[in-house]
């Protein structure tokens, strides 16, 4: 039981196919108590049955684009638990129109929204939850290879994830003074609610399956297990890092299919 007695706050769980679900499940299986956020009544109806399934301690509302909501979430966690040990940021959003075609056509408003929700929300969560997290705590966020290399149609989300990864490095120094670690998991493409908005996503999945060293796409369970490791004392010396869980795709250069 790697997380026995630990308390984890998880933002961004949308359904039982999301990466956040794989993380929450792995945490629970290793003894952690969990709390889950939801945004609006539609997502509340999805999250609450999952919370019951996983035995979550409580759920709470939060719009990650609003400081007052994040501050209220931190207060709610304090009221229920006093302190927490783990914070999971699985939040990202971009307009569907900005996830197809040319990046150059991204609107100013679309750019601002993608960066705010997908990157700045991590900074805000760390700010408001810093007093709530115990020493030795861990913060995790989710990135993707499109932060470092061009991925067709990923567009403004790639730029937002690049900002997210840079934020992880800067936050590592701020939080490290209180012995709180922060890392990002760069997961391979997965069929999730978030990825469904990316034009041509099915072709990306097929490509990855052919050209990764392991010749497969990863699962939410594999990502969840990596999150479990990073949140546990086993990773006490790791912070400010981007950990790839993509079947090795990020190591690849030019690949030629064997005849």
Phi and psi (nearest 5°) for 14? -105, -40
Work out whether strand 7-11 and strand 58-61 pair parallel, antiparallel, or are unpaired: unpaired
For the question of residue 170 being annotated catalytic, the response is no
Q: Give the span between the Cα atoms of 138 and 182, in whole angstroms.
A: 6
**Which is catalytic among the residues 21, 120, 128, 144?**
144
CB 166 within 8 A of CB 147: no
Neighbours of 166 (CB within 10 A): 12
Instruction: Give counts: helices (H), strands (E), the chain.
Output: 8, 7
> CA-to-CA distance for 180 and 130, rounded, in angstroms?
9
Query: 87 pairs with which residues across the strands?
Result: 9, 139
What's the CA gap between 65 and 195, in Å, rounded? Answer: 20
The separation between CA 48 and the C-alpha centre of its own chain, rounded to angstroms, equals 19
Q: What is the sign of the dihedral through the CA atoms of 124, 126, 38 and 194?
A: positive
CB 94 within 8 A of CB 197: yes
Going by DSSP bridges, is the β-strand pair 181-187/7-11 parallel, antiparallel, or unpaired?
A: unpaired
Catalytic residue among 120, 128, 145, 154: 154
Q: Note if 144 is an active site residue.
A: yes
List C-alpha distances in Å: 8 to 33, 50, 105, 115, 140: 6, 15, 39, 25, 11
Active site residues: 144, 154
């Amino acid at each position: 039981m790697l997380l026995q007695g630990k308390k984890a706050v998880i933002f961004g769980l949308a359904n039982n196919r999301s990466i956040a679900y794989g993380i929450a499940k792995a945490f629970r299986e290793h003894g952690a108590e969990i709390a889950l956020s939801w945004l609006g009544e539609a997502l509340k109806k999805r999250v609450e049955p999952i919370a019951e399934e996983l035995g979550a301690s409580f759920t709470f509302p939060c719009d990650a684009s609003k400081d007052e909501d994040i501050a209220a979430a931190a207060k709610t966690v304090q009221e229920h638990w006093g302190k927490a040990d783990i914070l999971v940021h699985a939040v990202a959003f971009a307009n569907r129109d900005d996830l197809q075609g040319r990046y150059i056509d991204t609107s100013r408003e679309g750019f601002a929204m993608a960066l705010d929700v997908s990157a700045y929300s991590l900074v805000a969560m760390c700010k408001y939850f810093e007093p709530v997290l115990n020493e030795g705590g861990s913060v995790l966020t989710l990135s993707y290879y499109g932060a470092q290399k061009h991925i067709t149609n990923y567009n403004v989300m790639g730029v937002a994830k690049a900002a997210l990864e840079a934020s992880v490095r800067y936050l590592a120094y701020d939080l490290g003074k209180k012995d709180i670690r922060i890392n990002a998991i760069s997961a391979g493409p997965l069929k999730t609610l978030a990825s469904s908005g990316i034009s041509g996503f099915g072709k990306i999945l097929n490509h990855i399956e052919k050209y990764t060293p392991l010749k497969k796409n990863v699962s939410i369970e594999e990502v969840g297990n990596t999150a479990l490791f990073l949140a546990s004392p086993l990773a006490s010396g790791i912070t400010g890092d981007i950990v790839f869980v993509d079947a090795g795709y990020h190591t690849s250069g030019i690949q030629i299919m064997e005849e």
